[in-house]
Structure 1
């Protein structure tokens, strides 16, 4: 049972991360988030991260853009772990907080490697995903583009995206 809960934590934390990335994109574009959601929902996850990295480079000061790109890259790495966990084939281990993941690939190739992982290890990955989500939210909040009490409301529609743009080079 503990394993199922830990695997579920991964699913929930990743969904929240995907939502936050979409929110970051819409806010940095100055778009209404509810109007942007149909677009985001049709984008693969990697495409969302790539889009966020591109728009960060255009709209944010260099240090903020660099931090956001780094956070995106870390999330993509964690995405690989997430995929192994959510799409793996699990066999119960010796106790209810340990399981064995059978590694196999498309076309019937099965590896002899069957790693044992604990619910705690999976929960730690979920915590890392949650921390990334919070980091994205904090970036938006610093830019005046996120109100944690009402996340769907854009606290500075229009003007904040202008304020988030990097200063133009002097002529």
Structure 2
């Protein structure tokens, strides 16, 4: 059995920063998913926020997958659905990181996450995780957010200079016109 040394007290600034990166990048992803839903529905984003903010994260991704299937060409819908599935997988990692119980490791750039479950049986482990590994997960989340934004841009539904501005849509044709 290998002996590990932990330091009592708070985590290092490096570890706090890495964990914080996950929180910030995930919040940006959630906002982008809400923006995707509002734009694909043709709704003003600020008017849609009261709905999105009251939806659980999984429900947002499930809703976006459904909307994409209804509103997008098959290839765009397939790509957006794949991004949603990838985000849900990353969400599991995010939850472990943000909701984990942490102990500082031997050096400033590693910590030990205490994992325990008591659903039917008790299990526990304590993996060592580096700030770099956490930052890499944050980078993957950020890349997904960018991929959603790029999809909206391709569809003409996002102005990167003013992302909150609703895109100008051509007037709909009326009967007899």
Fold match, TM over 0.5? Answer: yes
For the Cα contact (< 8 Å) 1:27–1:33, is it kept in 2? yes
SS in 1 for 2:18: helix
Moved more, 96-105 or 28-37: 96-105
Q: RMSD in angstroms over aligned alpha carbons?
A: 3.7
SS in 2 for 1:129: helix
Report the Cα offset of residue 115 of structure 1.
0.5
For the Cα contact (< 8 Å) 1:144–1:156, is it kept in 2? no
**Is there any run of 5+ residues in structure 2 with no aligned partner, and where?**
1-12
Report the Cα offset of residue 113 of structure 1.
1.3
For the Cα contact (< 8 Å) 1:61–1:167, is it kept in 2? no
TM-score computed with the length of structure 1 as normaliser: 0.89
- Cα distance, 1:125–1:141 mapped onto 2, change above 3 Å: same
For the Cα contact (< 8 Å) 1:100–1:115, is it kept in 2? yes
- Cα distance, 1:108–1:147 mapped onto 2, change above 3 Å: same
Larger Rg: 2
**Is there any run of 5+ residues in structure 1 with no aligned partner, and where?**
158-165
For the Cα contact (< 8 Å) 2:116–2:125, is it kept in 1? no
- Cα distance, 1:40–1:106 mapped onto 2, change above 3 Å: farther
- Distance in 2, matches of 1:170 and 1:96, equals 71
SS in 2 for 1:95: coil
Relative to its length, the structure with more helix (as a share) is 1
